[in-house]
Amino acid sequence: MQHNREAFEPAACLWIGASWTKMARRSLLSRSFSLNHYRAYDVRGLFNYNLSCCVNALLQSFSATTELLDILQKWHPPATIGRNNIPLQLKNALCAMRDTSNPASHKNLLDCLYSHNIHRFTQQDADEIFHIILNLSQKQMLDQDLAQEIRSLYDIRMETQLMCSECKYVQRVPSSYFSLPLAIFEGVNTLERCIQSFFQRQNLLDGDMCYCDSCGQKQPSTHELKLVSLPRILCVHLKRFRNVGGLTWKLFSRVTFPETLNMGIFAAEGQSENVVSGSPQADEHYRLYAVIVHIGYAMSGHYIAYIRSTQDQTWYYADDRTVQPVSWSIVQSSYEGTETAYLLLYRKMSRNASGEQ
Ligand SMILES: [Zn+2]
Protein backbone atom coordinates (compact mmCIF):
# COMPACT_ATOMS: atom_id res chain seq x y z
CA MET A 1 0.00 0.00 0.00
CA GLN A 2 1.35 3.37 -0.91
CA HIS A 3 -0.36 5.26 1.88
CA ASN A 4 1.96 6.47 4.58
CA ARG A 5 0.02 5.63 7.71
CA GLU A 6 2.42 7.49 9.97
CA ALA A 7 1.69 10.66 8.01
CA PHE A 8 -1.88 10.80 9.31
CA GLU A 9 -1.78 12.94 12.42
CA PRO A 10 -4.77 12.18 14.65
CA ALA A 11 -5.37 15.79 15.61
CA ALA A 12 -5.20 16.99 11.99
CA CYS A 13 -7.50 14.17 10.94
CA LEU A 14 -10.06 15.03 13.54
CA TRP A 15 -10.20 18.65 12.53
CA ILE A 16 -9.80 18.36 8.77
CA GLY A 17 -11.86 15.16 8.60
CA ALA A 18 -14.76 16.84 10.36
CA SER A 19 -14.34 19.90 8.18
CA TRP A 20 -14.54 17.79 5.03
CA THR A 21 -17.51 15.87 6.34
CA LYS A 22 -19.41 19.09 6.83
CA MET A 23 -18.40 20.28 3.38
CA ALA A 24 -19.53 17.00 1.84
CA ARG A 25 -22.88 17.16 3.60
CA ARG A 26 -23.37 20.80 2.62
CA SER A 27 -22.45 19.85 -0.91
CA LEU A 28 -25.06 17.07 -0.98
CA LEU A 29 -27.71 19.14 0.67
CA SER A 30 -27.16 21.93 -1.79
CA ARG A 31 -28.24 19.44 -4.45
CA SER A 32 -31.78 19.88 -3.09
CA PHE A 33 -32.09 16.72 -0.99
CA SER A 34 -33.94 16.71 2.26
CA LEU A 35 -31.86 15.11 5.01
CA ASN A 36 -34.01 12.17 5.99
CA HIS A 37 -33.35 10.03 8.99
CA TYR A 38 -31.52 6.74 8.64
CA ARG A 39 -34.41 4.83 10.18
CA ALA A 40 -36.50 5.14 7.05
CA TYR A 41 -34.22 2.96 4.94
CA ASP A 42 -32.94 -0.58 4.70
CA VAL A 43 -29.32 0.65 4.57
CA ARG A 44 -28.37 1.18 8.18
CA GLY A 45 -26.27 4.02 9.62
CA LEU A 46 -23.22 3.29 11.77
CA PHE A 47 -21.81 5.20 14.74
CA ASN A 48 -18.40 6.73 14.22
CA TYR A 49 -16.07 5.53 16.98
CA ASN A 50 -12.55 6.94 17.06
CA LEU A 51 -12.54 8.00 13.37
CA SER A 52 -13.95 4.70 12.14
CA CYS A 53 -15.36 6.18 8.90
CA CYS A 54 -13.14 3.93 6.76
CA VAL A 55 -14.35 0.72 8.42
CA ASN A 56 -17.91 2.11 8.44
CA ALA A 57 -17.87 2.67 4.68
CA LEU A 58 -16.39 -0.80 4.13
CA LEU A 59 -18.99 -2.37 6.41
CA GLN A 60 -21.72 -0.80 4.29
CA SER A 61 -20.22 -2.55 1.26
CA PHE A 62 -19.86 -5.87 3.14
CA SER A 63 -23.46 -5.55 4.31
CA ALA A 64 -24.59 -5.01 0.72
CA THR A 65 -22.61 -8.14 -0.25
CA THR A 66 -25.36 -10.47 0.93
CA GLU A 67 -23.35 -13.45 -0.33
CA LEU A 68 -20.74 -12.79 2.39
CA LEU A 69 -23.22 -12.90 5.26
CA ASP A 70 -24.80 -16.01 3.72
CA ILE A 71 -21.38 -17.72 4.05
CA LEU A 72 -20.75 -16.40 7.57
CA GLN A 73 -24.19 -17.54 8.74
CA LYS A 74 -23.35 -21.12 7.77
CA TRP A 75 -20.55 -20.98 10.35
CA HIS A 76 -21.33 -21.90 13.96
CA PRO A 77 -18.14 -21.29 15.93
CA PRO A 78 -17.69 -22.83 19.39
CA ALA A 79 -18.75 -20.68 22.36
CA THR A 80 -15.16 -20.70 23.58
CA ILE A 81 -13.91 -18.72 20.58
CA GLY A 82 -12.14 -15.49 21.55
CA ARG A 83 -13.52 -11.97 21.17
CA ASN A 84 -10.61 -11.16 18.86
CA ASN A 85 -11.89 -13.39 16.09
CA ILE A 86 -12.53 -11.24 13.01
CA PRO A 87 -15.02 -13.50 11.15
CA LEU A 88 -17.10 -13.84 14.32
CA GLN A 89 -17.20 -10.07 14.94
CA LEU A 90 -17.80 -9.37 11.24
CA LYS A 91 -20.74 -11.78 11.29
CA ASN A 92 -22.15 -10.14 14.43
CA ALA A 93 -21.75 -6.63 12.99
CA LEU A 94 -23.41 -7.57 9.68
CA CYS A 95 -26.29 -9.27 11.52
CA ALA A 96 -26.77 -6.13 13.65
CA MET A 97 -26.92 -4.04 10.47
CA ARG A 98 -29.95 -6.06 9.33
CA ASP A 99 -31.94 -4.45 12.14
CA THR A 100 -32.75 -1.01 10.76
CA SER A 101 -34.34 0.47 13.87
CA ASN A 102 -31.19 2.23 15.14
CA PRO A 103 -27.64 2.96 14.04
CA ALA A 104 -25.81 -0.33 14.47
CA SER A 105 -23.12 -0.84 17.04
CA HIS A 106 -20.08 -2.49 15.54
CA LYS A 107 -17.81 -1.54 18.41
CA ASN A 108 -16.78 -5.16 19.06
CA LEU A 109 -15.57 -5.49 15.46
CA LEU A 110 -13.62 -2.24 15.76
CA ASP A 111 -12.06 -3.37 19.07
CA CYS A 112 -11.19 -6.64 17.37
CA LEU A 113 -9.53 -4.79 14.46
CA TYR A 114 -7.64 -2.58 16.92
CA SER A 115 -6.31 -5.73 18.57
CA HIS A 116 -4.86 -6.64 15.15
CA ASN A 117 -2.84 -3.42 14.86
CA ILE A 118 -5.44 -1.27 13.12
CA HIS A 119 -4.91 1.93 15.05
CA ARG A 120 -7.58 4.16 16.56
CA PHE A 121 -7.74 7.86 15.64
CA THR A 122 -5.84 7.15 12.43
CA GLN A 123 -6.98 7.78 8.87
CA GLN A 124 -6.87 4.34 7.26
CA ASP A 125 -6.60 3.26 3.66
CA ALA A 126 -9.83 1.55 2.57
CA ASP A 127 -8.16 -0.91 0.18
CA GLU A 128 -5.68 -1.95 2.85
CA ILE A 129 -8.40 -2.47 5.49
CA PHE A 130 -10.54 -4.33 2.92
CA HIS A 131 -7.65 -6.79 2.43
CA ILE A 132 -6.92 -7.10 6.16
CA ILE A 133 -10.56 -7.94 6.96
CA LEU A 134 -10.83 -10.52 4.18
CA ASN A 135 -7.44 -12.11 4.90
CA LEU A 136 -8.14 -12.39 8.64
CA SER A 137 -11.67 -13.63 7.96
CA GLN A 138 -10.17 -16.57 6.07
CA LYS A 139 -7.24 -17.15 8.39
CA GLN A 140 -9.34 -17.15 11.56
CA MET A 141 -12.25 -19.10 10.13
CA LEU A 142 -12.04 -22.56 11.70
CA ASP A 143 -14.08 -24.14 8.90
CA GLN A 144 -11.67 -24.33 5.94
CA ASP A 145 -14.40 -25.00 3.37
CA LEU A 146 -16.19 -21.77 4.36
CA ALA A 147 -12.85 -19.91 4.41
CA GLN A 148 -12.37 -21.04 0.81
CA GLU A 149 -15.89 -19.84 -0.05
CA ILE A 150 -14.99 -16.35 1.23
CA ARG A 151 -11.82 -16.39 -0.88
CA SER A 152 -13.66 -17.59 -3.98
CA LEU A 153 -16.29 -14.88 -3.61
CA TYR A 154 -13.72 -12.12 -4.28
CA ASP A 155 -10.79 -13.98 -5.85
CA ILE A 156 -9.57 -12.59 -9.21
CA ARG A 157 -7.17 -15.21 -10.60
CA MET A 158 -4.55 -14.19 -13.09
CA GLU A 159 -1.39 -15.47 -14.67
CA THR A 160 1.72 -13.35 -15.15
CA GLN A 161 3.46 -14.21 -18.41
CA LEU A 162 7.07 -13.16 -18.94
CA MET A 163 8.25 -13.88 -22.47
CA CYS A 164 11.90 -13.71 -23.49
CA SER A 165 12.13 -11.58 -26.63
CA GLU A 166 15.14 -13.62 -27.85
CA CYS A 167 14.03 -17.26 -27.51
CA LYS A 168 10.27 -16.74 -26.89
CA TYR A 169 10.41 -18.91 -23.74
CA VAL A 170 7.43 -18.02 -21.50
CA GLN A 171 7.51 -18.13 -17.69
CA ARG A 172 4.03 -18.39 -16.19
CA VAL A 173 3.35 -17.35 -12.58
CA PRO A 174 -0.15 -17.66 -11.09
CA SER A 175 -1.42 -14.78 -8.99
CA SER A 176 -4.53 -13.95 -7.03
CA TYR A 177 -6.13 -10.61 -6.13
CA PHE A 178 -8.99 -9.48 -3.90
CA SER A 179 -9.15 -6.17 -5.76
CA LEU A 180 -8.08 -5.11 -9.24
CA PRO A 181 -5.43 -2.41 -8.62
CA LEU A 182 -5.80 0.12 -11.44
CA ALA A 183 -3.36 2.92 -12.16
CA ILE A 184 -5.06 6.15 -13.15
CA PHE A 185 -3.58 8.96 -15.15
CA GLU A 186 -3.64 12.75 -15.22
CA GLY A 187 -6.62 14.13 -17.11
CA VAL A 188 -9.61 12.07 -18.13
CA ASN A 189 -9.89 8.30 -17.65
CA THR A 190 -12.59 5.74 -18.18
CA LEU A 191 -12.71 2.60 -16.06
CA GLU A 192 -12.62 0.45 -19.19
CA ARG A 193 -9.47 2.24 -20.38
CA CYS A 194 -7.77 1.76 -16.99
CA ILE A 195 -8.57 -1.97 -17.09
CA GLN A 196 -7.30 -2.19 -20.66
CA SER A 197 -4.07 -0.52 -19.58
CA PHE A 198 -3.71 -2.97 -16.66
CA PHE A 199 -3.74 -5.92 -19.05
CA GLN A 200 -1.59 -4.26 -21.71
CA ARG A 201 1.65 -5.99 -22.69
CA GLN A 202 4.74 -4.12 -21.50
CA ASN A 203 8.24 -4.25 -22.93
CA LEU A 204 10.95 -4.75 -20.32
CA LEU A 205 14.20 -3.31 -21.61
CA ASP A 206 17.57 -2.17 -20.22
CA GLY A 207 17.40 -2.10 -16.42
CA ASP A 208 14.02 -3.86 -16.45
CA MET A 209 15.24 -6.93 -18.38
CA CYS A 210 14.36 -10.32 -16.83
CA TYR A 211 16.38 -13.49 -16.34
CA CYS A 212 15.43 -16.12 -18.91
CA ASP A 213 15.73 -19.73 -17.66
CA SER A 214 16.19 -20.95 -21.23
CA CYS A 215 18.91 -18.47 -22.30
CA GLY A 216 20.53 -18.50 -18.84
CA GLN A 217 20.91 -14.72 -18.74
CA LYS A 218 18.97 -11.46 -18.53
CA GLN A 219 17.15 -10.69 -21.76
CA PRO A 220 14.72 -8.06 -23.08
CA SER A 221 11.26 -9.45 -22.27
CA THR A 222 7.56 -8.71 -22.38
CA HIS A 223 5.33 -8.73 -19.31
CA GLU A 224 1.61 -9.44 -19.55
CA LEU A 225 -1.21 -10.36 -17.17
CA LYS A 226 -3.90 -12.80 -18.32
CA LEU A 227 -7.25 -13.30 -16.65
CA VAL A 228 -7.76 -16.88 -15.50
CA SER A 229 -11.05 -16.52 -13.66
CA LEU A 230 -13.39 -13.81 -12.42
CA PRO A 231 -15.21 -13.86 -9.07
CA ARG A 232 -18.88 -13.20 -8.30
CA ILE A 233 -17.88 -9.99 -6.50
CA LEU A 234 -15.37 -7.85 -8.37
CA CYS A 235 -13.64 -5.14 -6.34
CA VAL A 236 -11.87 -2.43 -8.34
CA HIS A 237 -9.25 -0.27 -6.61
CA LEU A 238 -8.63 3.10 -8.26
CA LYS A 239 -5.08 3.91 -7.16
CA ARG A 240 -5.54 7.59 -6.41
CA PHE A 241 -2.68 7.79 -3.93
CA ARG A 242 0.80 8.14 -5.32
CA ASN A 243 4.04 8.30 -3.40
CA VAL A 244 6.56 10.76 -4.82
CA GLY A 245 9.80 11.43 -2.99
CA GLY A 246 8.41 10.10 0.29
CA LEU A 247 5.27 12.24 0.10
CA THR A 248 1.82 10.82 -0.68
CA TRP A 249 -0.35 12.69 -3.19
CA LYS A 250 -3.93 12.17 -4.17
CA LEU A 251 -4.83 12.23 -7.87
CA PHE A 252 -8.05 14.16 -8.48
CA SER A 253 -8.26 13.05 -12.14
CA ARG A 254 -11.63 12.19 -13.65
CA VAL A 255 -12.39 8.46 -13.82
CA THR A 256 -15.82 7.58 -15.18
CA PHE A 257 -17.28 4.18 -14.32
CA PRO A 258 -20.43 2.48 -15.63
CA GLU A 259 -23.27 0.88 -13.68
CA THR A 260 -22.91 -2.18 -15.91
CA LEU A 261 -19.45 -3.40 -16.86
CA ASN A 262 -18.56 -6.16 -19.31
CA MET A 263 -15.33 -7.78 -18.10
CA GLY A 264 -15.62 -10.37 -20.85
CA ILE A 265 -14.00 -8.06 -23.39
CA PHE A 266 -10.82 -7.95 -21.28
CA ALA A 267 -10.93 -11.70 -20.76
CA ALA A 268 -11.22 -12.26 -24.51
CA GLU A 269 -8.39 -9.81 -25.30
CA GLY A 270 -6.10 -11.25 -22.66
CA GLN A 271 -7.00 -14.89 -23.22
CA SER A 272 -4.06 -17.21 -22.89
CA GLU A 273 -3.28 -19.69 -25.68
CA ASN A 274 -3.82 -22.43 -23.11
CA VAL A 275 -7.39 -21.61 -22.18
CA VAL A 276 -8.16 -22.88 -18.71
CA SER A 277 -11.48 -24.65 -18.16
CA GLY A 278 -13.95 -22.19 -16.65
CA SER A 279 -12.07 -19.19 -18.06
CA PRO A 280 -13.97 -15.94 -18.42
CA GLN A 281 -16.14 -15.73 -21.50
CA ALA A 282 -16.92 -12.81 -23.78
CA ASP A 283 -20.06 -11.77 -21.86
CA GLU A 284 -19.08 -11.46 -18.21
CA HIS A 285 -21.39 -8.62 -17.18
CA TYR A 286 -21.18 -6.99 -13.79
CA ARG A 287 -23.45 -4.49 -12.05
CA LEU A 288 -22.17 -1.83 -9.68
CA TYR A 289 -23.65 -2.02 -6.17
CA ALA A 290 -21.22 -0.18 -3.86
CA VAL A 291 -18.80 2.74 -4.16
CA ILE A 292 -16.36 3.65 -1.38
CA VAL A 293 -15.58 7.35 -1.68
CA HIS A 294 -12.59 9.17 -0.22
CA ILE A 295 -13.22 12.84 0.60
CA GLY A 296 -10.28 15.16 1.11
CA TYR A 297 -6.57 14.92 0.50
CA ALA A 298 -3.87 12.28 0.89
CA MET A 299 -2.93 13.23 4.42
CA SER A 300 -6.41 13.70 5.84
CA GLY A 301 -9.93 12.95 4.85
CA HIS A 302 -13.11 11.05 5.36
CA TYR A 303 -14.82 8.01 3.83
CA ILE A 304 -18.45 7.59 2.84
CA ALA A 305 -20.20 4.92 0.76
CA TYR A 306 -22.84 4.82 -1.93
CA ILE A 307 -24.82 1.59 -1.73
CA ARG A 308 -27.40 0.26 -4.16
CA SER A 309 -30.00 -1.55 -2.08
CA THR A 310 -30.75 -5.11 -3.15
CA GLN A 311 -34.31 -4.62 -1.89
CA ASP A 312 -35.48 -1.50 -3.69
CA GLN A 313 -32.57 -1.04 -6.18
CA THR A 314 -32.19 2.57 -4.98
CA TRP A 315 -28.81 4.21 -4.42
CA TYR A 316 -28.15 5.41 -0.85
CA TYR A 317 -25.57 7.78 0.53
CA ALA A 318 -24.12 6.37 3.78
CA ASP A 319 -22.00 8.72 5.89
CA ASP A 320 -21.57 7.12 9.32
CA ARG A 321 -25.00 7.55 11.00
CA THR A 322 -26.54 9.44 8.09
CA VAL A 323 -28.25 7.52 5.32
CA GLN A 324 -30.30 9.06 2.54
CA PRO A 325 -31.42 8.06 -0.96
CA VAL A 326 -29.60 9.64 -3.88
CA SER A 327 -29.81 9.51 -7.63
CA TRP A 328 -27.25 7.83 -9.90
CA SER A 329 -26.10 11.30 -10.99
CA ILE A 330 -25.01 12.01 -7.39
CA VAL A 331 -23.01 8.76 -7.37
CA GLN A 332 -21.45 9.95 -10.63
CA SER A 333 -20.29 13.14 -8.88
CA SER A 334 -17.54 10.94 -7.36
CA TYR A 335 -15.87 10.68 -10.79
CA GLU A 336 -13.43 13.50 -9.98
CA GLY A 337 -12.36 16.14 -7.49
CA THR A 338 -11.85 15.88 -3.75
CA GLU A 339 -14.87 13.55 -3.26
CA THR A 340 -13.75 10.65 -5.39
CA ALA A 341 -14.55 6.98 -5.84
CA TYR A 342 -11.74 4.83 -4.45
CA LEU A 343 -13.17 1.28 -4.40
CA LEU A 344 -15.91 0.02 -6.72
CA LEU A 345 -17.82 -3.19 -5.96
CA TYR A 346 -19.46 -4.98 -8.90
CA ARG A 347 -21.62 -8.12 -8.75
CA LYS A 348 -21.63 -10.65 -11.58
CA MET A 349 -24.90 -10.83 -13.49
CA SER A 350 -26.29 -14.07 -14.82
CA ARG A 351 -25.63 -14.75 -18.51
CA ASN A 352 -29.13 -15.77 -19.48
CA ALA A 353 -31.03 -12.92 -17.82
CA SER A 354 -30.57 -9.35 -16.73
CA GLY A 355 -30.60 -10.39 -13.06
CA GLU A 356 -27.58 -10.83 -10.82
CA GLN A 357 -26.27 -14.24 -9.81
ZN1 LIG B 1 15.41 -16.63 -23.61
Residue 356 lies in a domain: no
* pLDDT attached to residue 192: 95
Within a domain: 140: yes
**Separation of 74 CA from ligand 1 center, angstroms?**
50
* Cβ 58 vs Cβ 129: under 8 Å: yes
CA of 218 to the centre of ligand 1 (A): 8
Q: 337: CA distance to ligand 1 center in Å?
A: 46
Residue 185 pLDDT greater than 60, yes or no = yes
Taking the centre of ligand 1 as the mean of its atom positions, its distance from the CA of residue 159, in whole angstroms, is 19
pLDDT at 121: 67
Cα 228 to middle of ligand 1, angstroms: 25
Q: Tell me, in angstroms, the distance from the centre of ligand 1 to residue 266's CA.
A: 28
Measured N-to-C along each axis, helices 53-64 and 107-114 cross at an angle, to the nearest 10 degrees, of 120
pLDDT for the residue numbered 33: 38
| Structure confidence at residue 101 (pLDDT) | 66
Query: Is 284 a domain residue?
Result: yes
Q: In what order do the strands lie in the sheet with 156-164?
A: 170-177, 156-164, 221-229, 202-204
Q: Nearest to residue 52, comparing CAs of 134, 129, 139?
A: 129
| 227 lies in some domain | yes
Contact between 133 and 86 under an 8 Å Cβ cutoff? The reply is: yes
For the cut 70, the answer to whether the pLDDT of residue 10 exceeds it is: no
What is the distance in A from the centroid of ligand 1 to the CA of 224?
16
Number of domains within the chain: 1
Q: How far is the CA of 32 from the CAs of 23, 38, 164, 305, 306, in angstroms?
A: 15, 18, 59, 19, 18
CA gap 222, 174 in Å, rounded: 16
Domain that holds residue 166: 5-348
Å from CA of 216 to ligand 1 middle: 7
Least confident of 38-52, 245-259, 286-300: 38-52
Q: Assess if residue 354 is contained within a domain.
A: no
What's the pLDDT tens digit per position in 99-137?
766 667 788 999 999 888 777 767 789 999 999 999 999
- For residue 355, report the distance from its CA to the centre of ligand 1, in Å: 48
* Distance in Å, CA 162 to ligand 1 centroid: 10
Q: What is the average pLDDT across 306-312? A: 90
Question: Which of the pair, 167 or 30, is modelled with greater confidence?
Answer: 167
CATH code for the domain in which residue 288 is found: 3.90.70.10
Indicate the pTM of the whole model: 0.85
From 36-40, 60-64, 87-91, the region with the lowest mean pLDDT: 36-40
| Position 25 pLDDT exceeds 50 | no
DSSP 193-222: HHHHHHT--EEE-GGG-EEETTTTEEE-EE
